[in-house]
Amino acid sequence: MPLSPVLAGQPTYPFVRLEEAKRQKAEEGLRIVDLGMGDPKGIPEEPIRRALVASLEDATGYPAAQGLPELRTAIAGWLQRRFGVQLDPEREVIPTLGSKEAIFSFAQVVVDPAAGKDLVLVPDPAYPVYERGAAFAGADVRPLPLRADRRFLPDLESVERETWRRAAVVWVNYPNNPTTATASLSFYARLAELAREHDFYVCSDEAYSELWFDAPTPSALEAGVQNVVAFNTLSKRSSMTGYRSGFVAGDERAIAALRKFRPSIGTAPQLFVQRASVVAWEDEAHVERNRERYRRKRELFLELFARRGLQVAGGAATMYLWVAVPEGETSETFASRLLERGVVVAPGTHLGAGGEGYVRLALVPSEEECRLAVEILDDEL
């Protein structure tokens, strides 16, 4: 049977491999604490669930690709309150089915080899979907290394001018998965300046923007919306992974292109999900409670790693910890050793070659399960 050569050349999605290894150990009778997948286990709060249920009777008909006007208005209102960015909800905001599908498909909308715009730059290490989506769009994909000595920020000044000229998309993700690093507004301003000079899109994945523990983090949109597009989601902010509700906002040309493209792929959230999303974007109290839960779990592991002499790299943000492996071990061997004791972590190499030397812990289990993991690790380290 015919098969896309891009698909045929893709290795198994790394977190599918992790899930298979976890399942095997569970079948052997080992109790598992899963710190591998970044899938929040919290339940969305009651007002959000109530809004969803109340809207079920109005669940007929296909949702429009541009989303409900009241949802676009709620998103624009949140961006104004949170970042001081004023966007037109009609022309500069579009709801999406979570952020993953929008991230995956964006290169299909803007990559144009005939015009010399055939290149997508992606961070390394990173969420694999940036690279995979670009590959399926037929783009040439190049890594932007994220290194500890540069605080896990790409070295923009080392990129050759010809590379910027060919770029259609440059992906950034702060607060960062997996390194937990954060970016300054000056970083975004310089990248946006380059984007306008060379006419590429800064695509800023801001899924973890509300999981910060020292100070609120900026959005790339604060550097101006021209040539800048932000992707965000309720999955992490509001523990609404199963609802699949996010948005793309920013450059008017990009949003117009998405409004043209998205009816063909039919990925608007269901109307009842959109109405629940309005409630979520308009409330901050539940976000503060969610952030506090992550803070408590984070501090459990920080105390353990400080006591055991393991370096926690990155910054004070996201639902992750990016931990340097003990001397003499690789990401894979360290993760395998912990799996033998029932603690699942993601080897850094699952997120790119630049992740060697680290493992990622996702603080998504309950606080009780995190305490159990700390006890197990305290014996193992």
pLDDT of residue 1: 62
Residues 77 and 226 in one domain: yes
Residues 266 and 368 in one domain: no
Q: Examine the fold and report which residue of 281, 307, 324 is the final residue of a domain before the chain moves on.
A: 281
Residues 214 and 313 in one domain: no
Residues near 8 by Cβ (< 8 Å), separated by ≥ 6? none
- Digits of tens for pLDDT over the chain (381 positions)? 677 888 777 777 777 777 787 788 778 888 899 999 888 888 899 999 999 999 998 777 788 889 999 999 999 999 999 999 999 999 999 999 999 999 999 999 999 999 999 999 999 999 999 999 999 999 999 999 999 999 999 999 999 999 999 999 999 999 999 999 999 999 999 999 999 999 999 999 999 999 999 999 999 999 999 999 999 999 999 999 999 999 999 999 999 999 999 999 888 899 999 999 999 999 999 999 999 999 999 999 999 999 999 999 999 999 999 999 999 999 999 999 999 999 999 999 999 999 999 999 999 999 999 999 999 999 888
CATH code, 259: 3.40.640.10
Residues 178 and 90 in one domain: yes
CB-side exposure of 346: number of CA atoms within 13 Å? Answer: 30
Residues 90 and 153 in one domain: yes
For the chain, what is the domain count?
2
Give pLDDT tens digits for 246-286. 999 999 999 999 999 999 988 889 999 999 999 999 999 99
Distance CA(106)–CA(91), nearest Å, equals 17
**Cα torsion 205, 207, 210, 215: sign:** negative
Residues 37 and 63 in one domain: no
CATH code, 296: 3.90.1150.10
- Determine whether 73 is exposed, middle or buried from the number of CB atoms within 10 Å of its CB (0-12, 13-18, 19+): middle
Give pLDDT tens digits for 318-349. 999 999 999 999 999 999 999 999 999 999 99
Residues 181 and 238 in one domain: yes
User: What domain range is 323 assigned to?
Assistant: 5-43+285-380
Q: Examine the fold and report which residue of 281, 311, 337 is the final residue of a domain before the chain moves on.
A: 281
Residues near 318 by Cβ (< 8 Å), separated by ≥ 6? 175, 176, 177, 180, 208, 211
Residues 131 and 204 in one domain: yes
Polymer length in residues for the chain: 381
pLDDT of residue 41: 83
pLDDT of residue 46: 94
Token match 């920013």: residue? 250
Q: Examine the fold and report which residue of 281, 305, 325 is the final residue of a domain before the chain moves on.
A: 281
Neighbours of 187 (CB within 10 A): 19
Kindly list the distances between the CA atom of residue 55 and the CA atoms of 245, 276, 282, in Å, as whole numbers in the listed order: 15, 8, 17
Residues 18 and 147 in one domain: no
CB-side exposure of 291: number of CA atoms within 13 Å? Answer: 18
Token duo for residue 244: 């699949």
Q: Where are the alpha helices (DSSP H) in 138-284?
A: 161-166, 185-198, 234-237, 252-261, 271-281
Residues 211 and 246 in one domain: yes
Distance CA(166)–CA(111), nearest Å, equals 10
Residues 192 and 255 in one domain: yes
Q: Which residues pair with 167 in a beta bridge?
A: 119
Do 36 and 23 meet the contact criterion of CB atoms below 8 Å apart? no
Residues 258 and 130 in one domain: yes
